[in-house]
């Protein structure tokens, strides 16, 4: 039986495990106690339910992010900033050669509503898709309640810089958030401001380390400063980045603490290109024609520096700008 809900999301009634199935265009999504099943006219695929929900949560929270969000080597989305492609096998050489790949384009609001409905129905009370595996309960088993408080968290976005009057980010992130178990050694003192005469009250500062030490989520960059299109998006990382990100622009990483291993692949075929180990203090520019996934053995702090200029994807894909920012 197909039920059409008010927002246009197509869903069936619960299966024997208690979960609804969803369809979007010619794609269908269903889950059981361990796995998520994705089907399209020329193929099908399954993913572990926990990994699927972690990826889905980020794709929703990031508004489909920059470029491609691969849930794994087969399914994912491409952001065209207004419309979104949902694909299977499109960025996988073997699926392409076997002609099993499939892509459909949707208005952003339509795919977003469907994704939100899936996340809401499939996230049990025990599971927080933003938390590290050590700090959340299980995603598995028959349907067991919901976790709306976790999946509808408001994202912290600074309009200017955190701590500048009028910015809400510090208030919403730091107050009431305990220091994470793995950042108990991070000093909590704030910088002291000694302004020159005439500049009193016009300078602001905050300790980014102290701020990040209280972040309750993992792999979720938050904007802490915006200067025109230059966005500083630091984040705390633990375990595996839940998506394989295929970028449409260059992205800079500054490893602020600890260590992350990056697997870097060709964006379009998935062929392995590099393995990068980033230690505290290391800086890397990820080229615009790769995809990457990070592994953080211990909770670490990473600054993701984004250029939000909307002209970049076209300038890079047309060859007017290079895919790497520096030639050595
Ligand atoms: C990225 O794809 O560049 C990315 C995404 C989320 C993070 C860190 C890096 O937390
Ligand atoms: Fe990225």
Among residues 151, 172, 194, which one ends one of the domains?
151
- pLDDT confidence band for 168 (50 / 70 / 90): low
Nearest atom of ligand 1 to the alpha carbon of 218: 10
Please tell me whether residues 147 and 243 are part of one structural domain: no
Residue 109 pairs in a beta bridge with none
The whole-number pLDDT of residue 159 equals: 73
Encoding tokens for residue 323?
């895919």
**Predicted confidence (pLDDT) at residue 323 exceeds the cutoff of 80:** yes
Tell me what the mean pLDDT of segment 164-192 comes to.
Answer: 80
**Predicted confidence (pLDDT) at residue 135 exceeds the cutoff of 90:** yes
- pLDDT confidence band for 271 (50 / 70 / 90): very high
Arithmetic mean of pLDDT over the chain: 94
- pLDDT confidence band for 326 (50 / 70 / 90): confident
Tell me what the mean pLDDT of segment 197-226 comes to.
Answer: 92
Please tell me whether residues 192 and 146 are part of one structural domain: no
Please tell me whether residues 9 and 147 are part of one structural domain: yes
Residue minimizing CA distance to atom 10 of ligand 1: 219
Domain count for the chain: 2
The whole-number pLDDT of residue 61 equals: 95
Please tell me whether residues 26 and 140 are part of one structural domain: yes
**Within-domain flag for 110:** yes
**Predicted confidence (pLDDT) at residue 141 exceeds the cutoff of 70:** yes
Nearest atom of ligand 1 to the alpha carbon of 286: 3
User: Ligand 1, from 70, 241, 265, 295: best to mutate by most atoms within 8 Å of Cβ?
Assistant: 241
User: Ligand 1, from 130, 235, 239: best to mutate by most atoms within 8 Å of Cβ?
Assistant: 235
Tell me what the mean pLDDT of segment 270-284 comes to.
Answer: 97
**Predicted confidence (pLDDT) at residue 158 exceeds the cutoff of 80:** no
**Within-domain flag for 73:** yes
**Predicted confidence (pLDDT) at residue 254 exceeds the cutoff of 90:** yes
pLDDT tens, position by position, 182-211: 999 999 999 999 999 999 988 999 999 999
The whole-number pLDDT of residue 42 equals: 96
The CATH number covering residue 200 comes to 2.60.120.10
The whole-number pLDDT of residue 139 equals: 98
First and final C-alpha spacing in the chain: 60
User: Ligand 1, from 216, 219, 264: best to mutate by most atoms within 8 Å of Cβ?
Assistant: 219
**Within-domain flag for 232:** yes
**Within-domain flag for 325:** no
**Predicted confidence (pLDDT) at residue 144 exceeds the cutoff of 80:** yes
pLDDT tens, position by position, 38-47: 999 999 999 9
**Predicted confidence (pLDDT) at residue 153 exceeds the cutoff of 80:** yes
What's the gap in Å between 199 CA and the centre of ligand 2? 38
- pLDDT confidence band for 284 (50 / 70 / 90): very high
The whole-number pLDDT of residue 175 equals: 60
The whole-number pLDDT of residue 156 equals: 66
- Cα–Cα separations (whole angstroms), residue 140 to 137, 144, 228, 320: 9, 9, 43, 47
- Cα–Cα separations (whole angstroms), residue 161 to 11, 193, 201: 42, 16, 15
**Within-domain flag for 93:** yes
- The residue range of the domain holding 270 is 181-216+218-317
Distance CA 20, CA 3 (A): 10
Tell me what the mean pLDDT of segment 233-239 comes to.
Answer: 97
Please tell me whether residues 186 and 118 are part of one structural domain: no
Tell me what the mean pLDDT of segment 71-86 comes to.
Answer: 98
CA angle at 290 for the pair 280 and 223, rounded to the nearest 5°: 55
- pLDDT confidence band for 163 (50 / 70 / 90): confident
The whole-number pLDDT of residue 164 equals: 83
Among residues 151, 173, 198, which one ends one of the domains?
151
Output the DSSP codes for 157-226. Answer: B-SSBTTSTT--HHHHHHTTPPPPGGGTTS--PPPPP-PPTT-TTS-----HHHHHHT---SS---B-EE
Distance CA 267, CA 106 (A): 22
Residue minimizing CA distance to atom 2 of ligand 1: 245
Tell me what the mean pLDDT of segment 11-24 comes to.
Answer: 97
**Predicted confidence (pLDDT) at residue 288 exceeds the cutoff of 90:** yes
Please tell me whether residues 81 and 146 are part of one structural domain: yes
Tell me what the mean pLDDT of segment 73-77 comes to.
Answer: 98
The whole-number pLDDT of residue 4 equals: 66
Identify whether the C-beta of residue 85 lies closer than 8 Å to the C-beta of residue 97: no
Please tell me whether residues 54 and 135 are part of one structural domain: yes
What's the gap in Å between 287 CA and the centre of ligand 2? 9
What's the gap in Å between 197 CA and the centre of ligand 2? 43
Nearest atom of ligand 1 to the alpha carbon of 245: 2
């Amino acid at each position: 039986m197909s039920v059409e809900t008010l927002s246009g999301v197509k869903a069936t009634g619960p299966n024997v495990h208690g979960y609804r199935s969803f369809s979007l265009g010619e794609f269908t999504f269903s889950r059981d106690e361990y796995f998520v099943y994705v089907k399209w006219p020329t193929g099908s695929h399954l993913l572990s339910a926990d990994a699927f929900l972690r990826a889905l949560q980020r794709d929703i929270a990031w508004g489909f992010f920059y470029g491609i969000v691969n849930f794994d080597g087969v399914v994912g989305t491409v952001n065209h900033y207004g419309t979104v492609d949902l694909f299977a096998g499109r960025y996988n050489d073997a699926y392409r050669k076997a002609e099993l790949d499939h892509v459909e384009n949707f208005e952003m609001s339509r795919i977003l509503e469907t994704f939100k409905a899936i996340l809401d129905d499939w996230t049990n009370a025990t599971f927080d898709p933003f938390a590290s595996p050590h700090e959340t309960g299980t995603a598995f088993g028959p349907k067991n309640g919901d976790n709306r408080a976790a999946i509808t968290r408001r994202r912290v976005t600074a309009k200017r810089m955190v701590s500048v009057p009028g910015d809400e980010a510090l208030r919403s992130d730091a107050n009431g958030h305990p220091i994470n178990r793995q950042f108990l050694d991070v000093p909590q003192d704030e910088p002291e401001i000694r302004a020159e005469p005439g500049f009193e009250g016009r300078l602001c500062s905050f300790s980014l380390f102290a701020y990040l030490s209280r972040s309750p989520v993992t792999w979720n960059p938050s904007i802490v400063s915006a200067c025109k299109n230059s966005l500083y998006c630091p984040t705390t990382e633990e375990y595996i980045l839940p998506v394989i990100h295929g970028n449409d622009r260059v992205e800079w990483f500054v490893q602020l603490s600890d260590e992350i291993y990056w697997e870097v692949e060709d964006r379009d075929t998935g062929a392995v290109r590099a393995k990068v180990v980033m230690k505290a203090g290391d800086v890397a520019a990820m080229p615009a024609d790769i995809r990457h996934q990070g592994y953080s053995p211990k909770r670490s702090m990473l600054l993701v520096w984004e250029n939000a200029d909307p002209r970049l994807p076209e300038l890079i894909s047309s060859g007017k700008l290079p895919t790497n920012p520096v030639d050595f």
